[in-house]
């Protein structure tokens, strides 16, 4: 999978893809992440990429011309399965969407900044708008990092255990059950006996029951869906 990211703050994306699982995914050749600085595509002496909003109001708006120029330059090299704009008013990101996007080959992500981007770019270039929650960030870079991480870990060969991602929260519509590791006893706090029984079927049933109970308590809305 190849992911291109357009941003006005490329430095914010240096860390998330240079460590841990995302770095291993790239080292294995399973994931490519290319960050493109929008600033050199700005207009005029000062490489302007934003301007005041028509109609007035606070905040600056990212201009069409730099975005379109860079986007079309990238499109000339490859066809994108989706052009994704990270924005608070987009579709709320869910595991099912991550699963689907992880099957694509080429994705272009556009990080908003200031008061956002000119609506005409959204109308004519963006194919999918995604939000990572009902709150506002200073820009779309952190949201893009979240989305890349959620996709990259699903690629075959990225995780050490191929089944690990399949048992994460939300994969089956439920939250994950509680997990335990050594030592068996700590300060008198014990691991549930069922997990030490070696009875696979009973362990799986216990995990399902725990996941269902945790979901009912913490996220009943998932059961409604």
How far is Cα 54 from Cα 86, in angstroms, rounded to an integer?
22
pLDDT (tens digit, 9 = 90+) per residue, 126-145?
999 999 999 999 999 999 99
Task: Quickly state the pLDDT bin for 164 (edges 50, 70, 90).
Answer: low
Q: φ, ψ for residue 215 (rounded to 5)?
A: -70, -40
Nearest to 66 by CA among 131, 11, 110: 110
Q: Within a 13 Å sphere around the CA of 164, how many CA atoms are in the beta-carbon half?
A: 11
| Cross-strand bridge partners of residue 212 | none
The mean pLDDT value for 18-32 works out to 94
Closest CA to 129 of 87, 80, 81: 87
Residues 107 and 81: their CA atoms lie apart, in Å, by 6
Q: What is the mean pLDDT of residues 17-24?
A: 92
CA distance 127 to 57: 27
pLDDT at 160: 72
Record the pTM: 0.89
Instruction: Give the H or E element holding residue 205.
Output: helix 200-218
| Confidence band, pLDDT 50/70/90 cuts, at residue 170 | confident
- pLDDT for the residue numbered 173: 86
Q: How confident is the model at residue 75 (pLDDT cuts 50, 70, 90)?
A: very high
Q: What confidence score (pLDDT) does residue 171 get?
A: 76
Q: Are strands 185-186 and 189-190 parallel, antiparallel or unpaired?
A: antiparallel
pLDDT at 79 over 70: yes
CB 66 within 8 A of CB 110: no
Is the pLDDT confidence value at 174 over 80? yes
**Residue % of the chain over a pLDDT of 90:** 89
Residue 165 pLDDT:
64
The pLDDT value recorded for residue 119 is: 97
Domains, the chain, with CATH or none: 2-152 (3.40.1280.10), 169-224 (1.10.1270.20)
DSSP string, 166-190: GGSTTTTSSPPPP---S-SEETTEE
């Amino acid at each position: 999978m190849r992911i291109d990211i357009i941003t006005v703050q490329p430095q914010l994306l240096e860390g998330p893809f240079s460590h841990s699982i995302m770095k291993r995914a790239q080292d294995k050749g399973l994931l490519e992440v290319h960050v493109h600085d929008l600033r050199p595509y700005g207009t005029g002496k000062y490489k302007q990429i934003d301007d005041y909003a028509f109609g007035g109001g606070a905040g600056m708006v990212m201009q069409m011309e730099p975005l379109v120029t860079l986007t079309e330059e990238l499109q000339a090299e490859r066809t994108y399965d989706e052009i994704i704009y990270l924005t608070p008013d987009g579709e709320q990101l869910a595991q099912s969407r991550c699963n689907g996007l992880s099957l694509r080959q080429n994705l272009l992500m556009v990080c908003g900044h200031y008061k956002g981007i000119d609506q005409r770019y959204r109308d004519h270039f963006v194919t999918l708008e995604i939000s990572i929650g009902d709150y506002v960030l200073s820009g779309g870079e952190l949201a893009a990092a979240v989305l890349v991480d959620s996709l990259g870990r699903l690629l075959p060969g990225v995780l050490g255990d191929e089944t690990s991602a399949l048992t994460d929260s939300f994969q089956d519509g439920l939250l994950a059950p509680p997990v335990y590791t050594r030592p068996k006893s700590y300060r008198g706090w014990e691991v549930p006996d069922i997990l030490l029984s070696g009875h696979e079927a009973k362990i799986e049933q216990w995990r399902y029951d725990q996941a269902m109970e945790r979901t009912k308590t913490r996220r009943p809305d998932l059961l409604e869906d």
